[in-house]
């Protein structure tokens, strides 16, 4: 490793595989998000689908306004632990989902007028009996794509997410207080600016009637080089023009680069290049690497061929594709060496599974102010047994 250390814990002292979330790195992101809130008055929700570690939710709640949930369980986590606003969106709800959500959510966003008209009175009556009141929103589809990967583009042709303008029913808007869209993925503010223009062209007539408009997630706000000024200007102009409260609901931006997955080298096999088998599994512990797909970064490594020693690194499962990628290092890896995968808090911890019976990684927290590492959760056979 050269220059600034890429993490502030000693990976050799940790039992592997394990996640390490660093409070200091989380705080750095929260500070940037606080700046956006302070400059615009917008509200920012944490998208729990991306990062939902209960232990740090109160810390995040110190800055952000609430959570966006995708299911009754996420909504309950928001209600019980985050304890601020809970907004829920589901592509469709069952009656049981609705009854459960009445206990926890403050805002219920529907994906169709069908579901809204079917469930509105049930929600009102159930919430009233519980002494709660729930506001209704609708997800719109601005039919404006900025992404190139269809599975991450809710505005791709044939999308099941959001109501298109041709299906929009202005006659059914009484009782709706917010509109929501989501179409970005790891994108900058210029993509948001173009999306806002498209949404205004299709739905502008209705924004003025709302209390809030939610610009969804996918804003890579905490990435170095992100155009914060353009984001601020886009939000301020929008709030001014339509007299509404703007919400953002990023996931990635909250915990971007704030967590690591530490693995240990178990064996090295001969091949066209050394094949390193580690104790972390790509499909079980970082499935997004295969789903997206992408090559996760390892601290101290370079691309294949860049440094003196190049190898292919994979996990212990039976899947031929349990491979993180090809990497180079200054010196050859040996059995027992630690590998520190970067940017592993987001869409990894929430997606782990026990494929092949492989144990889930421990979860550690690197604490402020001294960097002390605390083990938050360990897993074992019962976690595998109990879910099957």
Residues contributing to the site for ligand PLP (CB under 6 A) = 47, 49-50, 68, 89, 182, 185, 216-218, 249-253
Question: Smallest gap, in angstroms, from Cβ of residue 109 to ligand PLP?
Answer: 9
How far apart are the C-alpha atoms of 136 and 302, rounded to whole Å? 49
Name the residue nearer to ligand PLP (CB basis): 17 or 147: 147
Q: Cβ–Cβ contacts within 10 Å for residue 349, how many? A: 23
Backbone angles phi, psi at 247, to 5 degrees: -115, 145
**DSSP single-letter state for residue 325:** E
The distance of closest approach from Cβ of residue 173 to ligand PLP in the complex, given in angstroms and rounded to an integer, is 21
Residue among 142 and 217 whose Cβ is closer to ligand PLP: 217
Q: Name the residue nearer to ligand PLP (CB basis): 52 or 311.
A: 52
Residue 104: Cβ within 10 Å count: 20
The pairing of beta strand 274-278 with beta strand 259-269: antiparallel
For ligand PLP, give the closer residue by CB, 75 or 311. Answer: 75
Three-state SS for 281?
coil
**111: CB partners within 8 A, 6+ apart:** 89, 90, 91, 92, 138, 139, 160, 161, 162, 163
* Pairwise CA distance, residues 216 & 210, whole Å: 16
Distance (Å, whole) CA 54 – CA 79: 11
Question: Which runs of consecutive H residues, i.e. helices, occur in 295-354?
Answer: none
Element (H, E) at 56: none
Query: Which residue lies nearer to ligand PLP by CB, 1 or 151?
Result: 151
* Min dist. Cβ of residue 250 to ligand PLP (A): 4
β 373-377/362-366 pair status: antiparallel
- Please say which residue, 126 or 187, places its beta carbon nearer to ligand PLP: 187
CB of 30 to ligand PLP, least distance (A): 15
Two structure tokens written together for 292? 């997206």
Select 220 or 312, whichever has its Cβ closest to ligand PLP: 220
Nearer to ligand PLP, 218 or 361 (CB): 218
For residues 66 and 19, give the distance between their C-alpha atoms in angstroms, rounded to a whole number.
Answer: 24
Judge whether 186 and 221 are in contact, CB under 8 Å: no
Using an 8 Å Cβ cutoff, are 43 and 65 in contact?
Answer: yes
């Amino acid at each position: 490793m050269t220059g600034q250390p890429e993490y502030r814990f000693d990976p050799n002292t940790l039992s592997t595989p394990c996640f390490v979330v660093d409070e200091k790195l989380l705080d750095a992101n929260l500070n940037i998000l606080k700046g956006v809130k302070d400059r615009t008055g917008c509200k920012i929700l944490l998208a729990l689908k991306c990062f939902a570690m209960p232990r740090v939710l109160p810390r995040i709640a110190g800055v952000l306004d609430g959570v966006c949930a995708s299911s009754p369980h996420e909504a309950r986590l928001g209600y019980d632990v985050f304890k601020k606003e809970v907004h829920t969106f589901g592509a469709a709800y069952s009656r049981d989902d609705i009854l459960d959500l009445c206990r926890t959510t403050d805002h219920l966003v529907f994906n169709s007028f069908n579901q809204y008209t079917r469930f509105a009175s049930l929600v009102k009556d159930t919430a009233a009996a519980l002494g709660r009141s729930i506001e209704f929103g609708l997800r719109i589809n601005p039919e404006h794509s900025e992404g190139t990967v269809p599975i991450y583009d809710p505005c791709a042709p044939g999308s099941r997410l959001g109501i298109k303008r041709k299906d929009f029913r202005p006659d059914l808007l009484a009782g709706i207080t917010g509109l929501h869209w989501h179409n970005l993925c790891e994108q900058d503010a210029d993509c948001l600016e173009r999306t806002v223009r498209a949404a205004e062209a299709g739905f502008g007539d209705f924004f003025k009637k709302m209390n809030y408009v939610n610009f969804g997630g996918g804003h890579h706000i905490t990435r170095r080089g992100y155009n914060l000024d353009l984001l601020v200007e886009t939000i301020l102009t929008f709030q001014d023009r339509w007299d509404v409260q703007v919400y953002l609901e990023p996931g990635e931006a909250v915990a971007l680069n704030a967590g690591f997955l530490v693995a240990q080298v178990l064996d090295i096999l001969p091949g066209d290049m050394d094949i390193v088998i580690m104790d972390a599994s790509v499909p079980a512990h970082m499935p997004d690497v295969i789903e997206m797909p992408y090559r996760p970064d390892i601290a101290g490594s370079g691309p294949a061929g860049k440094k003196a020693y190049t190898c292919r690194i994979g996990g212990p499962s039976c899947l031929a594709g349990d491979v993180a990628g090809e990497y180079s290092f200054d010196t050859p890896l040996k059995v027992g060496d630690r590998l520190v995968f970067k940017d592993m808090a987001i869409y990894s911890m929430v997606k782990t599974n026990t494929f092949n019976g492989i144990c889930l990684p421990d979860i550690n927290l690197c604490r402020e102010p001294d960097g002390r590492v605390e083990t938050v959760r360990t897993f074992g056979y019962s976690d595998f047994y109990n879910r099957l």
